[in-house]
Amino acid sequence: MSSNHHSHKRDFAADTRLLKISLIAVVIGGFGTLAAFALLNLIRLFTNLFFYQTLSFVTRSPADNHLGPWVILLPVAGGLIVGLIARFGSEKIRGHGIPEAIEAILFGKSKMSAKVAILKPLSSGIVIGSGGPFGAEGPIIMTGGAIGSLIAQHFHLTGAERKTLLVAGAAAGMTAVFGTPVAAVLLAVELLLFELRPRSLLPVIVACAVAGFTRPLLLDTGPLFPLQTSEIGISALFSCVIAGILGGALSALMSTALYKVEDLFGKLPVHWMWWPALGGIAVGIGGYFEPRALGVGYDVIGDLLNGNLALQLALSLLLVKAVIWVIALGSGTSGGVLAPLLIIGAGLGTVLAPWLPGGDAHLWPLVCMAAVLAGVLGAPLTAAVFAFGLTHDTNALLPLLLTTGVAYGFTVLTMRRSIMTEKIARRGYHIYREYGVDPLERQHVDEVMTHAVAAIPASLTIAETLERYFGAGQVHRSYPVVDIEQGLIGMVERSSFGPQADGSNTLTTLFNPTYIEQSAALVALPSETCRIAAARMATHHLERLPVVSDLHSRRLIGIISRSDLIKPSRLFFDEEQKRERLLS
């Protein structure tokens, strides 16, 4: 075939609107950095206010407080305030942010409110500042997403374009908090976009790049936890598999425990507004006995990665952090999951390090924290690149890839849903996280259409048409009507002829200018994908679409029916289900 025959077929379905969306993403990326700066300062402000009774934005750990048993009351107070904000402000601030963002994307037309953009960082700052064992990533994903959605709502955009800008804001916020732009893009791909197309990937990349470049203007530069482990040996292969399995098992246990606790809170005879305060009691007690389990705990992550904590202390910290995190998040308070999972995973690695050969002791806290993250999120690439972005440890890349892959495989095989989708499933929505190229998008109309078309000349009378095409030997439900130059005029079926129709009139009398104008879009072009044709049929309740060479001449070249659209799916079924041995 000539090259012109395939000139309409491209690798990607993109148009110039991609440039407009990408330009809006530039603005969103800048706002993502501002939102991250505001959130981190709110956490510092409330930490100083609750634990040290001072108005300051200086970074201080809750573990250095001298409040004694009174510290138990601080998470309770924080939970009470957030419960009131959720009850009388917006219930959307409850939870760790990512499931709420997914729900808005898939079931809310990517529309989020200004109230969420303000109350989510405020409530998260209060919860974490009062000792809540959470990170800033969930809140910034929700806040950045809300900012992206609000900006998008000021433009004339489709739902898909709003989704792209919502996710761009979420990923930009994560980039600004952690300084991990590549991991933020991967998080968007693996968790939020539910597609891999230029129309969504490029704006997200642009937003993350802008956030990465503007981050040094407001926040610290460099990796959060700089680390350089030694080169690994072949025996590390076995150790990575073990670490991956145990990391996956721990993530499955944490996910299951979280929703068991949430179910228990749901059975309490009190309004959910009071649940965060009740969960705060457990946080306060745990923080009293293990103060370093309170708050974000970035300093704890650094100590675990650098081997500055003794085994017994690491094990104690692992257990307390896991318990209070599960109870607090299960109570429906506002907070993130990444930082707590990093601590829990790094604690697991510290416990395993003396028994795992093939790498130095600092490697295993790093790979285990990535493994737990991969298992909980169901996002192995995000977890591996995120751990690398936090440390810039090039020697750990290969162990990170294998360990997160094993943990991911473990949870895929053993769990029906992840911590990200379970909450949404409990609200009656099912999310299928696998996606690929739609078979209907892999083929074009000209590849499946019927070329030999039974068309009716417009000069034929109504009586002759009824006799020849709609008599006892009728083959098709509807037929295209063409003029002398094979230009399409419209489609006719038996119902097109009313009981008062004059049989001596020609078919042209059926097609007034208004009808022709309205039916102009009810055609398919050979360059369109089968998905577009299928959507058009479904929208207009049609079984067949005439295929024209172009919209100007409307020269009829074929017809595509519902049965034609089965062909791509048949090929897909063979690829997926047909097993055969090609070599004996």
What is the arithmetic mean of pLDDT over 396-421?
92
Split at pLDDT 50, 70, 90, the class of 391 is very high
Residue 188 DSSP class: I
Of these ranges, 94-108, 223-237, 460-474, the one predicted with the greatest mean pLDDT is 223-237
Contacts of 58 (CB under 8 A, 6+ apart): 44, 48
Cβ burial 155-166 (10 Å sphere, 16+ → b, else e)? eebeeebbbbbb
pLDDT digits (tens, 9 = 90+) for 180-212: 999 999 999 998 888 888 999 999 999 999 999
Which pLDDT belongs to residue 1? Answer: 45
Q: What is the pTM of this model?
A: 0.84
Which pLDDT belongs to residue 308? Answer: 87
What is the arithmetic mean of pLDDT over 79-100?
84
Which pLDDT belongs to residue 81? Answer: 94
pLDDT at 145 over 70: yes
Which pLDDT belongs to residue 297? Answer: 84
Q: How far apart are CA 321 and CA 545, in angstroms?
A: 61
Lowest mean pLDDT among 17-31, 102-116, 163-177, 286-300: 102-116
What is the arithmetic mean of pLDDT over 295-317?
87
Cα dihedral 5/8/12/16 (nearest 10): 160
What is the arithmetic mean of pLDDT over 76-104?
85
Which pLDDT belongs to residue 513? Answer: 63
Helix (H, G, I), strand (E, B) or coil at 578: coil
Mean of the per-residue pLDDT values of the chain: 88
Higher pLDDT among residues 500 and 81, named by residue:
81
Q: Half-sphere exposure (CA, 13 Å, Cβ side) for 429?
A: 16
What is the arithmetic mean of pLDDT over 338-354?
89
Cβ burial 338-377 (10 Å sphere, 16+ → b, else e)? bbbbbbbbbbbbbbbbeebebbebbbbbbbbbbbbbbbbb
pLDDT digits (tens, 9 = 90+) for 513-562: 655 555 666 899 998 989 999 999 998 888 889 999 988 888 999 999 98
Cβ(341)–Cβ(318) below 8 Å: no
Contacts of 205 (CB under 8 A, 6+ apart): 185
Q: Is 42 exposed, middle or buried (CB count within 10 Å of its CB: 0-12, 13-18, 19+)?
A: buried
Domains in the chain, ordered, with CATH?
17-218 (1.10.3080.10), 236-273+286-425 (1.10.3080.10), 439-569 (3.10.580.10)
Q: How far apart are CA 443 and CA 288, in angstroms?
A: 63
Higher pLDDT among residues 113 and 364, named by residue:
364
Which pLDDT belongs to residue 35? Answer: 94
What is the arithmetic mean of pLDDT over 397-408?
96
pLDDT at 24 over 90: yes
Tell me the Ramachandran region of residue 222: left when phi exceeds 0, alpha when psi lies from -120 to 50, beta otherwise. left
pLDDT digits (tens, 9 = 90+) for 487-512: 888 888 887 777 766 778 888 877 76
Q: How far apart are CA 351 and CA 345, in angstroms?
A: 10
Split at pLDDT 50, 70, 90, the class of 278 is very high
Q: Is 584 exposed, middle or buried (CB count within 10 Å of its CB: 0-12, 13-18, 19+)?
A: exposed
Which pLDDT belongs to residue 533? Answer: 92
Q: Considering the chain, what percentage of its residues have pLDDT values greater than 90?
A: 46
Strand partners, 459: none
pLDDT digits (tens, 9 = 90+) for 356-380: 988 788 899 999 999 999 999 999 9
